[in-house]
């Protein structure tokens, strides 16, 4: 199971740009705090990052969010983006599985894992109506952001190349 920083390291540059652009436009204080935290972690002044052209800044942020030390920040940004910008996808997924949710596609308690066949049917619906890269990020984040995840979803992600994030390899884990 990927960790949130692995998701950033492996997501496509276009999905990362979409995510960071959303934060830049809709969550300005969070975006600024993220730049500040990432810059400080690299012992840089935030102004150094802020002065980069937008796409170069986004690429720098994606690279740094893909590092293990950015795990908590990466998890938070994924949650904010998914609920804020991808609520239709979240709702479609939960509706496809018959799981009650609020208008943003969030649930209080994760129910037991549905059978792989039911998941496969719900995922096919997502892939027909949403960008494949965003669907892959969502499903991997769904697994990563819950302590236990669903073994049936892990199996589906592992067996379907459309759901795998194949960008950069994850940072090697140090013992």
pLDDT by residue (tens digit) across 35-57?
999 999 999 999 999 999 999 99
Token output for 71: 């795990």
Together in a domain, 8 and 80: yes
Check whether residue 74 and residue 90 sit in a common domain.
no
- Give the structural domain span for 41: 4-84
Q: How many domains does the chain divide into?
A: 2
**Residue 51 resides in a domain:** yes
Q: What is the pLDDT of residues 158-167, one digit of tens each?
A: 999 999 998 6
Q: What is the mean pLDDT of residues 14-25?
A: 97
Shared-domain flag, residues 123 and 77: no
Residues 66-85: tens digit of each pLDDT:
999 999 999 999 999 999 99
**pLDDT recorded at residue 170:** 43
Alpha carbons 124 and 118: distance in angstroms, whole number: 10
Answer whether residue 175 shows pLDDT above 70: no
How far CA 116 is from CA of 104, 121, 124, 127, 155, in Å, comes to 24, 9, 12, 16, 8
pLDDT of the residue at 172: 42
Distance separating alpha carbons of residues 103 and 92, to the nearest angstrom: 11
pLDDT of the residue at 37: 96
């Amino acid at each position: 199971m990927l960790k949130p920083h692995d998701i950033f390291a492996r997501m496509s540059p276009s999905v990362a740009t979409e995510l960071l652009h959303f934060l830049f436009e809709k969550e300005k204080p969070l975006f600024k705090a993220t730049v500040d935290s990432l810059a400080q972690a690299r012992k840089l002044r935030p102004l150094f990052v802020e002065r980069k052209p937008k796409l170069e800044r986004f690429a720098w942020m994606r690279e740094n969010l893909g590092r293990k030390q950015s795990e908590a920040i990466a998890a938070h940004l994924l949650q904010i983006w998914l609920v804020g910008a991808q609520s239709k996808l979240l709702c479609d997924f939960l509706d496809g599985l018959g799981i009650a949710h609020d208008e943003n596609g969030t649930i209080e308690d994760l129910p037991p894992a549905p059978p792989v066949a039911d998941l496969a049917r719900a995922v096919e619906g997502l892939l027909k109506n949403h960008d494949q890269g965003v669907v892959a990020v969502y499903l991997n984040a769904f697994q990563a952001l819950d302590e236990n995840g669903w073994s049936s979803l892990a199996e589906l992600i592992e067996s379907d190349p459309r759901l795998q994030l194949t960008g950069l390899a994850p940072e090697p884990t140090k013992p």
